[in-house]
Structures are given as structure tokens and as C-alpha cells.
């Protein structure tokens, strides 16, 4: 992974793959051009690397020239193409091959065609190393295409993000999500998870995903996934993990520019933990840590009994019921503790003390991630 300015990029196309594509382009073009001496026209800035490597692979005499256009701002193509340096030589009757690093919307290409409209060249062919078919909005024929890529921003091999990245010999793709802190928050009943989740959410600008809330939201709003989940619940069956994961994915996608997430109430099994890892990976991210609030049983019992007195919650009123809930919690979460420990991502935090004291301990763990 690399960082340019504020954005993270992941390896996408290796130098070797680029080299193979360039070799192929040079061969194809040399074949088609025959005995003509072509003029290769690079579009600056991006294409300097393509042109340089291409002409070294071109097996016959050729000429090279450049025009300079500018269209990109940040990570978005703009309609407004500036012609900074146009054609500086007469190309009447010549075989011209335009060499592009990348064709995205095709706006730049439209400008290229405008430039050549009155040049009376013998033939004008367009070659590009990279092509984003999903982004292309024009009808101009692309005669030679190196590698088709999805509509995501890339850098390297001449391509830049606000000036940086052009010198990298391979190509990197922008990460689907930027750097995130994703926490799985755990704690036995009465450990103060809810209170601490609120604090973490505000302090680190994280999105709190409580699985219970997500279920209730989907069912109440009768989303497709909510209806599907309800059909299992109504039959008295467990909702399959995949449905839960799909709901969580929708939440993650809704907040793809978040600093991270707090998962609360999920995962509960190692199969779910694996599914969550996969989900985060598909978003170019990962779970950073499982944080478990650790509180002694007797203290939990005391806390819950006193909460029961004011809340009137039936399951907070009876000591035996409370002890069973705590036992149940440890039985279920032991597996997860192992799962995240194996990845060095398990952090137990002492959950006894004042709220401020506990938040301080949590902040220390998160600060070290």
C-alpha cells in the first residue's frame, strides 16, 4: 500500500504485466504500419512513460512528438480540456499513431481529434495502454488497447494523483475505502459497552453499527433483506449469516467515507468473524481490533441488579438469571477471543472504574493500533 497526499493506493498492475502489454502494442502497431515511417504523438503529461517505453520496443524507424493537454483535477476527469502545447510540425500525409497512457471519459481524445481535424494526415490511429470501458462516453474508435481496467482511479507509470505517482514503475489503484479504524466491541452484559461505544464514536468519528439496530431498521422499513430476515424469524429459525452480512455490507457502503466502524453484536461465531473479515477485505479494509471490556462477575451482578431496580428490566432483577447470561457470554465469546488473538487483534480492557477512567484505557489501546 502507498499513500499519495491524502489517499491510499494498493498494488494493481505489475511492471511485468505493463511490459507485456507494451510489447504486444508495439508488435501490433508495427505490423499494421508496414513500411511507412509513423509519427508517434504522445499526450503529455501522462504519456511520457508509455511513449518512452513504446518507442524502445518499436522495431523500425519512427518519429516521436508530443502535444500537451490538461484535463484532470484531483481524481476526477473534467470536460474542460486545456491545450497547452499543440502540434508543432506539419503532419500532412503522415501515418500518425496517438499514444495515450489512459482513456477514461474520452474528453481528451475528443480534443485530440479536434486538433487533427484539419491536418490532412494519411491515417490517424489511437493507441492507449489503459482503457476504462465503463467510463468511456465517446464513439471514437480505439485502435489499440493495452489493458482494460475497471472505472477506478489509478496512479503510477506516468499517471498521477495531483502531481504525485508518475515515477512509480507499476500501477496502483485507489483503495475503495481509505484508512479505517474498525473495532469489534465486546463486553459481558453490564460491562458498559453502550456507554463506551458512544464515547468512541464521537472521539474517533466512527460509525456505530449495532447489529440489533440494523435488523430492527431493515425489518421496520421492509427492505428486501429485512423481509428475508423476518421470514426466518417468523418460522422461529436463525437468520442465516449471509443475510446479516449483506445488511452490514449495506451499512458499510452507506458510510464508505467514514473513519471506521464499531461493530457491536457481531460477530458471535468464528464463521461470522471470517465473513466479517471477508467483507472488510472486499472494501480494501480490515478489522483493526477486538476490544473486550473485562469486568469481574461479582461486579457485573451488582451493577445489573442496581440497574434492574431502576430500569425494571426483568432480566436484570434475578441474580441467577444474570449469572447465567454472563456465563453464556463467556461460553460464546471465548472462540472469538481466540480468533482475534491469533491475529494479534484482541485487546482486553479493564472495565472497572469511573467511566472516564475506562474511556482513557480504551483510547490508549486505539491510539496504539
Does the active-site annotation cover 313?
yes
Of the residues 125, 175, 193, 303, which is catalytic? 193
The number of residues that bind ligand IMP (CB under 6 A) is 18
Is 105 a binder of ligand IMP (CB under 6 A)? yes
Beta strand pairing call for 76-85 and 63-73:
antiparallel
Among residues 294, 309, 305, which one has the least CA distance to residue 353?
Answer: 294
Can you tell me the distance from the alpha carbon of 148 to that of 320, in angstroms, rounded to the nearest whole number? 64
The option from Mg ion, ligand IMP, none interacting with 128 (CB < 5 to 8 A, set by class) reads: none
Report which secondary-structure segment, H or E, holds 69: strand 63-73
Q: Which residues pair with 77 in a beta bridge?
A: 72
Catalytic residue among 313, 327, 332, 357: 313
Q: Which of 154, 197, 206, 291: binder of ligand IMP (CB under 6 A)?
A: 154
Q: How far from 364 is each of 192, 347, 357, CA to CA, in Å?
A: 17, 11, 11
Q: Which of 129, 231, 178, 151 is nearest to 9 (CA)?
A: 178
Q: Which entry of Mg ion, ligand IMP, none binds 211, CB below 5 to 8 A by partner kind? A: none
CA-based Rg of the chain, rounded to a whole angstrom?
29
Closest approach of Mg ion to the CB of residue 92, in Å: 25
CA 109 to chain CA mean position, Å:
29
Among ligand IMP, Mg ion, none, the one that 105 touches (CB under a kind-dependent 5 to 8 A) is: ligand IMP
325 in active site:
yes
Please state the closest distance from residue 171 (CB atom) to ligand IMP, in A.
Answer: 9
Residue 144, H or E segment: strand 144-148
Site string for Mg ion, 37-56 (x = CB under 5 A): ------x--x----------
Our CB check for Mg ion shows the closer of 21 and 317 to be 21
Report the helix count and the strand count for the chain, using DSSP H and E.
11, 15
Q: Which stretch binds ligand IMP (CB under 6 A): 95-103, 193-201, 224-232, 342-350?
A: 95-103
Cell numbers that stand for 190 in this block: 453490564
106 binds ligand IMP (CB under 6 A): yes
- Could you tell me the smallest distance in angstroms from the CB atom of residue 59 to ligand IMP? 26
Residue 167 — φ and ψ, nearest 5°? -85, 0
Q: Compute the distance between CA of residue 36 and CA of residue 45 in angstroms, rounded to an integer.
A: 27
Q: Which is closer to ligand IMP, CB of 129 or CB of 275?
A: 129
- Minimum CB–partner distance for residue 30 and ligand IMP (Å): 24
x-marked contacts with ligand IMP along 69-88 as a string, rule CB under 6 A: --xx----x-----------
Task: Give the three-state DSSP class for 162.
Answer: coil
Residue 153 vs 263, nearer CB to ligand IMP: 153
Give the nearer residue to Mg ion in terms of CB position, either 79 or 234.
79
Q: Each residue of 187-216: b (16+ CB within 10 Å) or e? A: bbbbbbbeebbebbeeebebbbbbbeebbe
The one among 53, 104, 284, 316 contacting ligand IMP by CB under 6 A: 104
- Smallest separation, CB 68 to Mg ion (Å): 9
Listed ranges 21-29, 104-112, 213-221, 316-324: which one lies at the site for ligand IMP (CB under 6 A)? 104-112
Residue 263 Cα distances to 91, 173, 203, angstroms: 63, 27, 16
Q: Which residues bind ligand IMP (CB under 6 A)?
A: 43, 46, 71-72, 77, 101-109, 153-155, 159
Which residues belong to the active site? Answer: 193, 268, 307, 313, 325
Q: Which residues bind Mg ion (CB under 5 A)?
A: 43, 46
Amino acid at each position: 500500500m502507498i499513500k499519495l497526499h491524502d489517499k491510499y493506493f494498493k498494488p494493481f498492475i505489475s511492471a511485468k504485466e505493463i511490459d507485456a502489454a507494451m510489447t504486444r502494442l508495439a508488435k501490433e502497431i508495427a505490423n499494421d504500419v508496414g513500411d511507412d515511417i509513423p509519427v508517434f504523438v504522445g499526450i503529455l503529461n501522462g504519456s511520457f512513460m508509455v511513449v518512452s517505453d513504446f518507442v524502445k520496443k518499436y522495431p523500425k524507424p519512427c518519429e516521436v512528438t508530443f502535444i500537451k493537454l490538461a484535463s484532470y483535477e484531483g481524481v476526477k476527469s473534467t470536460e474542460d480540456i486545456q491545450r497547452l502545447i499543440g502540434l508543432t510540425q506539419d503532419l500532412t500525409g503522415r501515418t500518425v499513431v496517438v499514444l495515450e497512457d489512459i482513456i477514461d471519459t474520452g474528453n481528451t481524445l475528443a480534443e485530440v481529434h479536434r486538433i487533427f481535424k484539419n491536418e490532412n494526415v494519411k491515417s490517424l490511429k489511437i493507441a492507449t495502454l489503459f482503457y476504462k470501458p465503463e467510463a468511456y462516453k465517446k464513439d471514437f474508435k480505439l485502435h489499440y488497447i493495452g489493458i482494460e481496467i475497471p472505472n477506478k482511479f489509478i496512479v503510477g507509470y506516468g499517471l498521477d494523483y495531483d502531481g504525485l505517482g508518475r515515477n512509480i514503475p507499476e500501477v496502483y489503484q485507489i483503495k475503495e475505502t481509505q484508512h479505517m479504524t474498525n473495532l469489534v466491541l465486546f463486553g459481558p452484559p453490564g460491562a458498559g459497552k453502550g456507554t463506551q461505544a458512544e464515547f468512541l464514536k464521537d472521539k474517533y468519528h466512527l460509525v456505530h453499527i449495532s447489529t440489533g439496530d440494523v435488523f430492527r431498521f431493515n425489518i421496520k422499513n421492509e427492505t428486501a433483506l429485512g423481509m428475508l430476515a423476518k421470514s426466518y424469524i417468523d418460522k422461529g429459525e436463525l437468520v442465516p449469516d449471509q443475510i446479516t452480512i449483506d445488511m452490514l455490507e449495506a451499512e458499510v457502503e452507506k458510510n464508505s467515507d467514514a473513519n471506521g466502524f464499531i461493530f457491536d453484536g457481531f460477530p458471535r461465531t468464528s464463521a461470522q468473524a471470517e465473513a466479517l473479515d471477508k467483507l472488510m477485505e472486499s472494501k480494501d479494509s480490515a478489522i483493526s481490533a477486538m476490544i473486550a471490556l473485562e469486568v469481574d462477575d461479582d461486579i457485573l451482578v451488582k451493577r445489573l441488579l442496581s440497574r434492574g431496580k431502576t430500569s425494571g428490566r426483568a432480566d436484570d432483577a434475578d441474580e441467577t438469571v444474570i449469572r447465567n447470561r454472563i456465563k453464556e457470554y463467556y461460553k460464546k465469546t471465548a472462540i472469538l477471543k481466540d480468533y482475534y488473538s491469533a491475529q494479534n487483534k484482541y485487546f482486553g480492557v479493564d472495565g472497572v472504574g469511573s467511566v472516564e477512567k475506562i474511556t482513557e484505557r480504551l483510547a490508549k489501546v486505539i491510539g496504539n493500533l
